[in-house]
Amino acid sequence: MIIRNVKVYTEDKRFVDGEIAIQDGRIESVGPSADLVTGDDTILDGEGCYALPGLIDIHFHGCKGYDFCDGTQEAIRKIAEYEASIGVTAISPATMTLPVNELEEILAVAANYRKEAKKKAIGTDVAADLVGVNMEGPFISEEKKGAQDERNIITCDSDICQRFLDASEGLVKFVGIAPERNEDASEFIRKMKDQVHISLAHTNADYDTAMAAFDAGADHAVHLYNAMPAFTHRKPGVVGAVSDSTHVNAEMICDGIHIHPSVVRATFKMLGAHRIVLISDSMRATGMPEGQYTLGGLDVNVADGRATLVSNGALAGSATNLMECMKTVVQKMGISLETAVACATMNPAKCLGIYDAYGSLTPGKKGNVVLLDKELNLKAVVKDGMRIR
């Protein structure tokens, strides 16, 4: 396939006029037409659209009525198909705080799903690639549990964590903890950090406790500002510790509901765009009519674009996909398209350790390309060199 007449997003975060050649599911070359050679004579006229890498969502729970924690091949497949259809071509879904045995079973299903997906012929799959799992629980705090079920919360345990990693066959990429709940949190981090990214998630940690966790090797923050102490001038909390720990990357839900646009802009200035990963945190109501759904076994009401627990009105994930979040960042929050694209493609790929194959339109990487018009409307999705939308 050759994608012509597009503004190609480059690794130095610019858009340049050019074309993209894809052969055998991989990007063969990028440049002016005279430089492109491919054995596939399929031509896609981009009509002046922006061409960017397929988006990567490293933290979301579900969509189209399905949840990753349903623990079935069908659920993962339906989720992956929807995500690909809206331009998210690689996914790392999140677990909820559930019983340990149940989480092991969910992770084993995901591992088997990935093995079966890899058997498919190149250029035949219309589903997003399952490239990781983000464990949001069960090592979290009751105080900041949010929409998590506190009955299943436990303290950090390296043996249990290893069971999760083994069940997933290496698919788990992030394990969230609340370090203040365990005096041995730093020991847990040092023991596990060479196998998996340790993130601070649903935590009530103060600044010193968060800094100790980051100094021990934790390097990620789950949905910054949400389910953690407020960032104030005398108590900077987790947010202040993230700011001072330059090796730490931070997720942000930019659906226009979870974080005020002014705070989003301030955070880009404070951390730098290279440390921010846009996520959707979407739940099963995404892509569905508003109404009542469930998340982690708890009832959720979705109305006016907000997903809230029926029990207490707390936010329960989002009903917005990553593509819409990226558009919101640009159109309603004043972040440049060039910056927003990096935070939804390059940065998550680097966090997952898959930047060799995903996250940029570079020869040798997977032929996943999204075309957006000037108003950022989705015009086409190419997955492994095959147009799927």
Q: Which residues are catalytic?
A: 281
Q: Is 202 annotated as a binding residue?
A: yes
A 10 A CB-CB count for 6 gives 26
Burial class (CB within 10 angstroms; exposed 0-12, middle 13-18, buried 19+) of 282: buried
Q: Is 317 annotated as a binding residue?
A: yes
- Going by the DSSP 8-state scheme, the letter that residue 237 receives in this structure is H
Q: Is 258 annotated as a binding residue?
A: yes
Q: Respond yes or no on whether the N-terminal peptide bond of residue 138 is cis (omega within 30° of 0).
A: yes
Residue 133: strand pairing partners: 172
Note whether 101 and 116 are within 8 A (CB). Answer: no
Q: Is 136 annotated as a binding residue?
A: yes
Nearest to 71 by CA among 199, 168, 176, 175: 168
Give the DSSP letter string of 267-287. Answer: HHHHH-GGGEEEE--B-TTTT
Q: Is 111 annotated as a binding residue?
A: no
Q: Is 5 annotated as a binding residue?
A: no
Q: Is 260 annotated as a binding residue?
A: no
Burial class (CB within 10 angstroms; exposed 0-12, middle 13-18, buried 19+) of 151: exposed
Q: How far is CA 199 from CA 54, 121, 209, 305, 331, in A?
A: 25, 35, 13, 28, 30
A 10 A CB-CB count for 116 gives 11
Note whether 178 and 147 are within 8 A (CB). Answer: no
Give the DSSP letter string of 23-64. Answer: ETTEEEEEESGGG---S---EEE-TT-EEEEPEEESS--EET
* Three-class secondary structure of residue 216 per DSSP: helix
Note whether 97 and 145 are within 8 A (CB). Answer: yes
Note whether 384 and 311 are within 8 A (CB). Answer: no
Q: Is 147 annotated as a binding residue?
A: yes
Q: Is 220 annotated as a binding residue?
A: no
Nearest to 237 by CA among 249, 246, 226, 247: 226
Known binding-site residue numbers for Zn(2+): 136, 202, 223
Known binding-site residue numbers: 136, 147, 202, 223, 226-227, 234, 258, 315-317
Known binding-site residue numbers for substrate: 147, 226-227, 234, 258, 315-317
